[in-house]
Structure 1
């Protein structure tokens, strides 16, 4: 069975405040490599504070960058087609800024390049080892932007190079200034065959590098380890290193009991990392600026590390129940399932549908993509409320990623349930024919919805959902209940029949909560989100100007959720709009479209590319250490 990034071993992606503090205490200010660094800052204790905005996930750009050493271009027999090292280093710095690279592992930083880099960039970048360990170790220096990172430890490991001669290569423990997140960075250059066959030395290098990664993970659980370098190997490097360690390559692939699946178009330059990191936006840059700078591609990727509250959370499954026609004014929060959600979870009755539409289908798609409706503003483009046989890729004019994409691509199973044919569009938009490629880890295929259930009515749908949750729960579930909206439009949203069905929906939600609590696989590990896809006003259920249509509840319940909290009090970055339908500009109201990136954030996954609502994933529902 292939490993899933959604539900790794408990020790793999958990970082408690106590552990973080212990790691800081052990970090010290001096290292065995003989260099000194800034003293670590103290970490605050865990606290629950309403009215403060905790940090979102840490996202930064990391790179592996072979500079093409000055020795190849500045001597008597310079490499043809390349300028001397000085002009090329200026271009290298331009690339660091153009790509917003925060941490970079250099290879072939020869003395002339080191001297100029420290002269030009010492105010912006820290560097190790530089000249501290001698000329050869200097070649593989690690640099980091000091405005974002500070060094806690600087170390070195001996790696065999040409003819087996050992060279010290650096690894550093950095701490992010804003979030306090720590990470190890190891940067190496394994020997090429330029001075005779070197495969046995490369193999030995990989063995040592793997052992170091495993030791750092064992000694500092929860602190990610990054490995950058020119490995002078492709599958001969990749397959052993991912088999021996938790490392995953930024460009995909993986290893399990069935064998090694290599990434497409492998280079000899590599960028890998361990949990809790997720990579996005991998690129092997070979544009004109790169080609005038070096003879290697520049490897760049976004690394996303969840915030401490998420790392400490046991949540590895999310169930979202969307209820069509659930108007906030109809809910009684003093009893039943709605009362439990309010007392034990975080709730607002003043969330908003999308600005453009109060129809169910457009809002379901916004909850799954984090996008607005208007395609001209990078929205999903679905303005109608019936299935027309289209897919979101066509209505948006571009591929639109959904929660199903990211969860499925990271190895998690997904489940979709509905009893109205309009939700067929959701399944079709991300099926095997229309889903996007999987660039993360193993290729799990284009079909992002593993199971789609079409029930005849809400009761049957909920019973199937409960049975599935108890037997084989998915990492992400979206279930759409539609009976309430049908009753409201037929009998009136203020009618006795509508009120009766509000109670029926409450009991269905209550049974779902009971199934979660009674399941060994789900209890203490599952986040439940209940959201109205639209409200309703008699005779004007699709009138975007009526507050009864655009005002809906959003309720979150599960382990670690701040009990009895109002979502606006927890999240002052969002503004309670009163009775108005405000837009998406900050400070914005909480639109139900925040659900997509909320679900991903609690699962430790990055935000959806191109999303608008909660794209920084700072909507907070969990108790945890605040920055």
Structure 2
């Protein structure tokens, strides 16, 4: 046999290497197939190939659900109207007390407030700077209309719409009571907030106006309950046992103050006062208290019910 030329020897070496590589590849394929007979090769992803979405972990899903459920702090605040402290006495002006109230609400972390007795000059101070907003709108309302207002923290809530109903008040006059739908900016969930001030006094006329006002309040809460979003009812009700029992018996609301009904019998909470918070059953309450002390006592002659609401 004639010896191969250098060029032919190079070609033969290349052919041997290709054959060896093919044999190794075949062996690997056979080995993989033996280890996993049912395995099938997946083609590489291309621009038109859908990439599988990995489901979030259980912890991440729980965290997302918690953010959507959310919580907020609510208060029912009779701010003591400016007209109550225009003359000499132990209280500062309504405007100065509104500044104190605003500072207190921010430090408390309250984001939904049912406000009573708030006059236009006090609402102006509360909403100045945009931290809080209110309804009915101050610029187009009278003092008797802003006296019952819903106030909310603008970073947490967005105004959706407002409605009003009228009750008898102040011996033959009438007052409009606001009902405001708010949308939570984080979760997108909505709720109704109702702020009510019922007539005070113990004479026959006062009792009649309070009774009629209470009945209209309950009727409107019942109507709101049919619209799905939960209801937060706040206000200076000038009533203790009566307003509690009639509200929990005739609506689906309960109170963070406790109490309830059992076998048709009303069991009001102990330590009741005239300022109230009620809410729909989806709400879960915690940390309820009547805020009091030196700062509150400089602002108003009422204690302020506050609570954390989870939903």
TM over 0.5: yes
- 1:72 maps to 84
Q: In the alignment, is the contact (CA less than 8 A) between 1:203 and 1:237 conserved in 2? A: no
1:130 equivalent in alignment to 2:137: yes
Partners of 1:126 and 1:114 lie apart in 2 by 9
- 2:198 maps to 190
1:113 equivalent in alignment to 2:122: yes
Partners of 2:203 and 2:119 lie apart in 1 by 19
Deviation at 1:164, TM superposition (A): 4.0
Q: In the alignment, is the contact (CA less than 8 A) between 2:126 and 2:132 conserved in 1? A: no
Deviation at 1:247, TM superposition (A): 1.0
Could you tell me which runs of 5 or more consecutive residues in structure 1 were left unpaired when the two chains were aligned.
1-47, 306-627
Q: In the alignment, is the contact (CA less than 8 A) between 2:99 and 2:125 conserved in 1? A: no
Cα pair distance change 1:196/1:133, threshold 3 Å: farther
Deviation at 1:193, TM superposition (A): 1.5
- 1:61 maps to 73
Q: In the alignment, is the contact (CA less than 8 A) between 2:237 and 2:275 conserved in 1? A: yes
Could you tell me which runs of 5 or more consecutive residues in structure 2 were left unpaired when the two chains were aligned.
1-52
- 1:174 maps to 182
Which has the larger share of helix? Answer: 2
Q: In the alignment, is the contact (CA less than 8 A) between 2:73 and 2:109 conserved in 1? A: yes
Partners of 2:80 and 2:109 lie apart in 1 by 21
Q: Among 50, 55, 61, which residue is 2:55 paired with?
A: 50
Q: In the alignment, is the contact (CA less than 8 A) between 1:242 and 1:248 conserved in 2? A: yes
For 1:183-332, list aligned pairs within 5 A.
Answer: 183-193=191-201, 197-218=205-226, 220-221=227-228, 223-305=229-311
1:102 equivalent in alignment to 2:111: yes
1:356-382 deviation per Cα after TM superposition (whole angstroms, max 9, x unaligned): xxxxxxxxxxxxxxxxxxxxxxxxxxx
Q: In the alignment, is the contact (CA less than 8 A) between 2:120 and 2:142 conserved in 1? A: no
Partners of 1:205 and 1:49 lie apart in 2 by 56
For 1:370-409, list aligned pairs within 5 A.
Answer: none
Partners of 1:175 and 1:224 lie apart in 2 by 11
Q: In the alignment, is the contact (CA less than 8 A) between 1:60 and 1:102 conserved in 2? A: yes
- 2:20 maps to none
Deviation at 1:195, TM superposition (A): 8.4
- 1:139 maps to 147
Q: In the alignment, is the contact (CA less than 8 A) between 1:63 and 1:271 conserved in 2? A: yes
Q: In the alignment, is the contact (CA less than 8 A) between 1:61 and 1:102 conserved in 2? A: yes
Q: So what's the TM-score if we normalise by structure 2?
A: 0.76
Q: In the alignment, is the contact (CA less than 8 A) between 1:163 and 1:196 conserved in 2? A: no
1:471-519 deviation per Cα after TM superposition (whole angstroms, max 9, x unaligned): xxxxxxxxxxxxxxxxxxxxxxxxxxxxxxxxxxxxxxxxxxxxxxxxx
Partners of 2:54 and 2:231 lie apart in 1 by 31
1:369-421 deviation per Cα after TM superposition (whole angstroms, max 9, x unaligned): xxxxxxxxxxxxxxxxxxxxxxxxxxxxxxxxxxxxxxxxxxxxxxxxxxxxx
Structure ID, larger Rg: 2
Deviation at 1:114, TM superposition (A): 2.1
Partners of 2:262 and 2:209 lie apart in 1 by 25
For 1:339-354, list aligned pairs within 5 A.
Answer: none
Which has the larger share of strand? Answer: 2
